[in-house]
Amino acid sequence: MKDIQRFNNKRIRTGGFFAVMAGLCLIMSGCSVDTVPVSDTQIAYEEPNSTDTADNTADNTSESSGLLSEDICIVPKKKNVATDAAITADAALLIDDTRHKVLYAQNVYGTEYPASVSKIATALMAFKYAKMDDTVTISSNASNITEYGARLCGFKEGDKISMKDLLYCMLTYSGNDASVAIAEHISGSETEFAAKMNKEMVSLGASGTHFVNSHGLHDDDHYTTAYDLYLIFHELLKYDDFREIIQCTKYTASWEDAQGKKQSLDIVSSDPFLTGSKQPPKGLTVAGGKSGTTVKAGGCLITYAQDKKKRDYIGVILKADSSYGAYAQMNHLFEYVKRGK
């Protein structure tokens, strides 16, 4: 976990720079006091008190104004603390992504293991660097994942499948072999893919993230933050295909094996919000997300919801006591939508 400590130290060292950025954003954008926009290309971390930012604003206006964005928000330091006894996860975040308003934040810059929620980063890479009608050939590596408990679609070496069906297999079914196949299609190897993905994360401002694989099976050097996951998901919502996939409840993925024989996998979502076994607070509709659970990561979840006015909300829970606990705490988190109106 040395890398985690290194990133935590980096946050401290860069605090002064982001104090300037945060203060300047407040002056120029007129955003609410609960929200601080930050450039898509800047690292986003806690800013000091507003009195610290004001002193530095004037001297940096001409240099920084061209980098500002009202599209992304960071969490003020005073808001990033546990205030709700019902939220027992290590980290929790809820953002009104339409009005760029932070509704709840708890330890959102602390590094955590994301388990299969990592797959949203792999999905972003697929949408950016591949096409939905690409044909992907399954490698020996992708078809021979042996880690105990790893969820697999059952692909065989030589199978040929479309990128679109792979994304359903990865996001809805959470197939780890699908993740590796996507990674190898984009970069040739999962190692090269992880390096490319980490660069992409930095370009989003997600510099508290370090990935070593495409799926989130545990590795001590594979970690992220609740805030970084928000950044990734915010970017993914720009893709209509992604919105369509995450709200899917049933899908049949089809492909051909090495001999040209048709194969298929019937996929049924296990998301309790989508299946109807869990109801969000009145006035909200959950449109999907991604969950993940390992022993060390606990229950992890990122969820996207809309209200009756079609405003978007992104919620993140990291290291709940279980998958069930992650969904229960997410539902409680959504209660803050009423308070944010």
Following DSSP, what letter does each residue of 76-92 receive, concatenated? -GGGSS---TT--SSEE
Q: Are residues 132 and 13 in the same domain?
A: no
Q: Are residues 168 and 250 in the same domain?
A: yes
Q: Is the alpha carbon torsion for 182, 187, 191, 196 positive or negative?
A: negative
Q: Are residues 54 and 182 in the same domain?
A: no
CA dist., res. 232 & res. 273, Å (int): 21
User: Can you tell me the mean pLDDT for 82-99?
Assistant: 96
Tokens of 236: 């993914």
Q: Which of 268, 283, 303 is the endpoint of a domain? A: 268
Outline where the chain has alpha helix (H): 2-13, 15-29, 50-64, 119-129, 163-171, 176-187, 190-204, 226-236, 240-246, 272-275, 323-333, 336-340
What's the CATH code of the domain at 218? 3.40.710.10
Q: Are residues 74 and 121 in the same domain?
A: no
Residue 163 covered by a domain: yes
> 71 pLDDT band (50/70/90 cuts)?
confident
> 9 pLDDT band (50/70/90 cuts)?
very low
pLDDT the model gives residue 340: 67
How many residues are there in the chain?
A: 341
Residue 150 covered by a domain: yes
CA trace torsion 177, 123, 296, 273 (10° rounding) = -100
Residue 273 covered by a domain: no
Cβ of 185: how many Cβ atoms within 10 Å?
Answer: 22
Phi-psi category of 86—alpha, beta or left, where left has phi over 0 and alpha has psi -120 to 50? alpha
User: Can you tell me the mean pLDDT for 72-95?
Assistant: 92
User: Can you tell me the mean pLDDT for 276-282?
Assistant: 95
For the ranges 19-23, 120-124, 182-186, 284-288, the lowest mean pLDDT is seen at 19-23
- Tell me the HSE value of 138 on the side-chain side, using a 13 A CA sphere: 25
> 23 pLDDT band (50/70/90 cuts)?
very low
Q: Which of 55, 79, 103 is the endpoint of a domain? A: 79
pLDDT the model gives residue 112: 98
Q: Are residues 21 and 127 in the same domain?
A: no
Assess whether pLDDT exceeds 70 at residue 288.
yes
Residue 274 covered by a domain: no
Assess whether pLDDT exceeds 50 at residue 144.
yes
Q: What residues make up the domain containing 9?
A: 2-79
Residue 248 covered by a domain: yes
pLDDT the model gives residue 133: 98
Q: Are residues 70 and 199 in the same domain?
A: no
pLDDT the model gives residue 10: 42
User: Can you tell me the mean pLDDT for 46-62?
Assistant: 31
pLDDT the model gives residue 65: 29
Query: In 3D, which of 275, 246, 255, 234 has the Cα closest to residue 170?
Result: 246
> 110 pLDDT band (50/70/90 cuts)?
very high
Q: Are residues 154 and 253 in the same domain?
A: yes
Domain count, the chain: 2
User: Can you tell me the mean pLDDT for 264-282?
Assistant: 96
Assess whether pLDDT exceeds 80 at residue 17.
no
Q: Are residues 68 and 183 in the same domain?
A: no
Q: Are residues 137 and 259 in the same domain?
A: yes
Comparing 100 with 46, the larger pLDDT belongs to 100
Residue 210 covered by a domain: yes
> 341 pLDDT band (50/70/90 cuts)?
low
- Mean residue pLDDT across the chain: 84
Assess whether pLDDT exceeds 60 at residue 35.
no
Q: Are residues 53 and 171 in the same domain?
A: no
Residue 303 covered by a domain: no
Assess whether pLDDT exceeds 60 at residue 61.
no
Residue 255 covered by a domain: yes
Q: Which of 79, 103, 134 is the endpoint of a domain? A: 79
Assess whether pLDDT exceeds 50 at residue 197.
yes
Q: Are residues 75 and 130 in the same domain?
A: no
Q: Are residues 161 and 255 in the same domain?
A: yes
User: Can you tell me the mean pLDDT for 219-239?
Assistant: 97
pLDDT the model gives residue 246: 97
User: Can you tell me the mean pLDDT for 267-276?
Assistant: 96
User: Can you tell me the mean pLDDT for 245-267?
Assistant: 97
